[in-house]
Amino acid sequence: MSYLHNYMGLLGCLLFLVAVPLTLVKQPRFSRKSITIVMFVILGLAILPINDLTLLAYIRAVLADLSITSMVMLSIMIASSYSGQQYITNHDRRLLGNSLLIGALILYPLGLGLTPYDTYSIGYGDPLLFGLLLAFAAYTLWKKAMFVLGLLLMTIIAYLLNVLASDNLWDYMLDPWIIIVTITHRMHSP
């Protein structure tokens, strides 16, 4: 595993550590000073060694490596808490949520052996997945969902640059945590 793979995994965990407290405390907007203090306190706690490993390494053992999608969404959650602005339109948010759920329905049951066809295996550079993603990119362009299109392009570029430890494109687009958050958000939204 290269240093980049290791740092990207730790970055995902660090984003998780910062975003979750900022999101759980339901305030309309935090002051920039308090968010900066929280980020530095969490960073300090994250790099403290506990039995030869940092807290961040223990959290990575539980979370595993997050997808590019999760890391981007966590970054947006932090930025929204910091600025008070919403960076994703409702249209993009809805399309992204639907896309993640459809992707999970395609990937997880079929990839876990529900049928003889393993959808996870097409993530190893199969032209079929790239064709489907090209069709999805055209659809997002037609729907004017630029955030979703940008996120899709970002995950594909990250895959081509091999920035995560996985060689599977599915791991760049989805992880169980983003699916759990999407399902939970859908259950609690009107």
Q: How many CB atoms are located within 10 Å of the residue 119 CB?
A: 20
- The Cα 152–Cα 156 span in angstroms is 6
List the beta bridge partners of residue 54.
Answer: 49
pLDDT band at 70 (very low <50, low <70, confident <90, very high): very high
Give residue limits of the domains in the chain. 1-87, 88-190
pLDDT band at 41 (very low <50, low <70, confident <90, very high): confident
**Whether pLDDT at 69 is above 90:** yes
pLDDT band at 144 (very low <50, low <70, confident <90, very high): very high
Q: How many CB atoms are located within 10 Å of the residue 69 CB?
A: 25
Whether this model's pTM surpasses 0.85 = yes
Short-list 44, 42, 32, CA closest to 81: 32
**Which amino acid makes up residue 153?**
L
For 43-63, how does the pLDDT look when each residue is reduced to its tens digit (9 = 90+)?
A: 888 788 888 888 888 888 888
For 79-103, how does the pLDDT look when each residue is reduced to its tens digit (9 = 90+)?
A: 887 777 889 999 999 999 999 999 8
- The Cα 105–Cα 38 span in angstroms is 36
Q: Which residue has the higher pLDDT, 33 or 176?
A: 176
